[in-house]
Structure 1
Amino acid sequence: MTAIDVAARLSRLNAVRKSVAVTDLILRSELQGGQTRLRLFEPAHAAVDLIGWLQQNRPEVEAALLQYGGVVFRGFGGDGNGLFQGLVKATIPDIQPYMEGATPRTQLGEGVYTSTEFPHDQTIAQHNELSYVMRWPMKICFACRTAPAQGGETPLTDVRRVLANLDPAIVQQFSERGWMLIRNYGNGLGPSWRKAFNTDDLDEVRRYCAQSDIALEIFDEEHIRTRQVRPAIRQHPVSAEHVWFNHIAFWHPSSLPEPVRQGLLAQFAHDALPYATCWGDGQQIDDGIIAHINAAYRQATLVTPWQQGDMVLLDNMLIAHGRNPFQGPRAIVVAMGQPYVPAQAAHPTWDRTK
């Protein structure tokens, strides 16, 4: 055996030892609440290089994402941009811009945004990010820069369990009829169309809507209305599982606090609300059905407090997220990507001419 052969064998042996050592330095456990479980990764000591471990053990993380829908990295000291951006780069190919956005966020650069900037006393209901677009992110990642003193959790819900919790008769109706999202821009109660579509050119909005199976009405330079019909149930492209993937309850008027709902309905017709959902044929969905859907979410939801430096990677088709009210400073950042376009992008019964 030559000196070169010996050196090569020693190099391979050292690589194996390094891999085993790094793997053994990661502690694995579960977080569980309701019907949702997440994989929890923690370092055995403070010197663990998370990004190096990810580069060698990405198949394990991907398998955990498919099984659990989400993984939590806790205790790695990631309270700034560097570690979070490293995590995003290692786990999310093709960072995705926030197209058709519906909530206020601040872009921090390199595909990183603040979480939704709603007032601290408001709840954000469970939802899968951008379920209503034709090209949604398969992965979404959060990081906690500042943990709130009280509340402010990001509840997480396995939407496989939500689908299983629903009345089969209701599921069948949505399978046949789909759901419609109606948005009105320019009333001062949501983002402008310029913000939502990332353009100042209405012709670009026309082209985008035509390509995305969205019916567009233009009233003037500021006021437009969009309607889009989507399936309520999707099939995961890797696991082939069926999931409850939509914003049906999220934007239904009955999900609003009653004083807010009554105030909006006193001012706007149903199809003139900033956001509204209905059956795919345009008929209004009964409030009782929405209450049933919201109960199915609650039954499946995990709520756990943020800890400083926590980073959470989710399969966006398997896990829905939201936000609880909070007190004190709270800073959560987010990135999303790995865009996916399904074969069945729009609901098959959708007729934009009606």
Structure 2
Amino acid sequence: MNVRPDIGWTYLIALTEITTMTLVTKPLDSSGGILVHRHSDEELLELPVETIKDLMKSAGVVMFRGFDVGPDAMKQFANQYSYKFNRDRLRPTVEGSGGHVQMVTEGTGYVDPHCEQANSPFRPDAIWFSCTKPAAEGGETLYWDGVRLWEELGTELQDLFRDKKLRFFQCYSKDKWQLFLGHDATVEDIRKTLDNLEGVSYFLNADEALYLEYVCPAVVRTRYGNVEAFANSLMSEWTNTLGDLMTFDDGTPISKEIVSQVKAALDRCTETVDWKPGDLVFIDNSRFLHGRNGFTDPSRKIFSSLSFLNF
């Protein structure tokens, strides 16, 4: 049996459903993702931590089903695998979570493929999602393996994205950049942080608003396996900010033709989380992009946490 080197040994246990060390696992998708089923009366926080870490390292996407997870349980579980948490500046927070559990992106429309906060120097290692109420129709979370996507792009686009970097622009009011550094962070704190980061140019306004240019590679090395992955926020930034005015770091336009080719590759790699109440999903943010199908059901409730991993 051939095993992809970026997947590792635990991919073997996902090929057929098995029961081992209280874990029932089976394939989640065609990209190596793993579904962990609850069996018997085991609890989420009782799952063997080191075994779960191995699954997360190898699969990159792990769903936990049958554990009836809500936002508080998600935070407790994620805390076992994280040393600190991050926050999104646009998402509403859940009361009592310390600000680190948030509702997902507001609205009901389609959300383009992106890696969480990959358009900034504050990119977390992982994103966690929990579902208490899926939409009656639509609203599935989508994801794409950046390793597979990189292979799908072909030699010409690979050469282009190796040669040129992406350039993003952000504006953060003081209360928004404090989400990353802490509510009591000062201008000196943000200066010290940004002055040590590669690819960052910035300006602090008199009202302490931060204007930031961030230059970064489109193809990155994965946290686990150190392999190339097209894991970035090109598509979401193209749609939501500059469009065909967006350029590479050298000022070369990122043309509609390039975006169309990337979209075609994404379409060949799309995987879907078809939510059930109580589901929890871990996504390796160094390797996988994610997004969402549109929906109309206003009762849909999906929560998220962003974290930096301790393994």
TM over 0.5: yes
Match of 2:194 in 1: 209
Asked if 1:71 corresponds to 2:62, the answer is yes
Match of 2:302 in 1: 332
Asked if 1:195 corresponds to 2:182, the answer is no
Instruction: Extract structure 1 runs of 4+ deviating beyond 6 A.
Output: none
C-alpha distance in 1 between matches for 2:282 and 2:56: 8
Match of 2:47 in 1: 53
C-alpha distance in 2 between matches for 1:202 and 1:49: 44
Distance apart, 1:202 and its partner CA: 4.9
Distance apart, 1:224 and its partner CA: 5.3
Residue 204 to residue 113, structure 1, CA distance change in 2 (3 Å)? same
Q: Is the 8 A contact 1:36 1:156 kept in 2?
A: no
Asked if 1:236 corresponds to 2:251, the answer is no
Structure number with greater Rg is 1
Match of 2:275 in 1: 306
Question: What amino acid does structure 2 have at the position aligned with 1:312?
Answer: V
Distance apart, 1:65 and its partner CA: 2.2
Q: Is the 8 A contact 2:101 2:304 kept in 1?
A: yes
Question: What amino acid does structure 1 have at the position aligned with 2:57?
Answer: L
What SS is found at the alignment partner of 1:309? Answer: coil
Question: What amino acid does structure 2 have at the position aligned with 1:211?
Answer: N
Match of 2:82 in 1: 93
Residue 283 to residue 102, structure 1, CA distance change in 2 (3 Å)? farther
Q: Is the 8 A contact 1:111 1:336 kept in 2?
A: no
C-alpha distance in 1 between matches for 2:117 and 2:303: 17
Match of 1:36 in 2: 31
Gaps of 5+ in 1: 1-21, 186-190, 271-276, 341-354
- Structure 1 vs Structure 2: percent identity of aligned residues? 20
Normalised TM-score (structure 2)? 0.80
Question: What amino acid does structure 1 have at the position aligned with 2:153?
Answer: L
C-alpha distance in 1 between matches for 2:21 and 2:178: 46
C-alpha distance in 1 between matches for 2:70 and 2:212: 39
Gaps of 5+ in 2: 1-18
Distance apart, 1:247 and its partner CA: 1.2
Distance apart, 1:111 and its partner CA: 5.7
Asked if 1:149 corresponds to 2:149, the answer is no
Residue 310 to residue 25, structure 1, CA distance change in 2 (3 Å)? same
Q: Is the 8 A contact 2:142 2:290 kept in 1?
A: yes
Match of 2:102 in 1: 114
What SS is found at the alignment partner of 2:92? Answer: coil
What SS is found at the alignment partner of 1:165? Answer: helix
Q: Is the 8 A contact 1:23 1:53 kept in 2?
A: no
Q: Is the 8 A contact 2:104 2:304 kept in 1?
A: no
Normalised TM-score (structure 1)? 0.71
Distance apart, 1:25 and its partner CA: 4.5
Match of 2:114 in 1: 127
Instruction: List per-residue Cα deviations over 1:250-289 (Å, max 9, x = no partner).
Output: 201xx35xxxx8xx88xxx95xxxxxx4201133211110
What SS is found at the alignment partner of 2:28? Answer: strand
How many pairs does the alignment contain?
285
C-alpha distance in 2 between matches for 1:159 and 1:102: 25
Aligned Cα root-mean-square deviation (Å): 2.8
What SS is found at the alignment partner of 1:180? Answer: strand
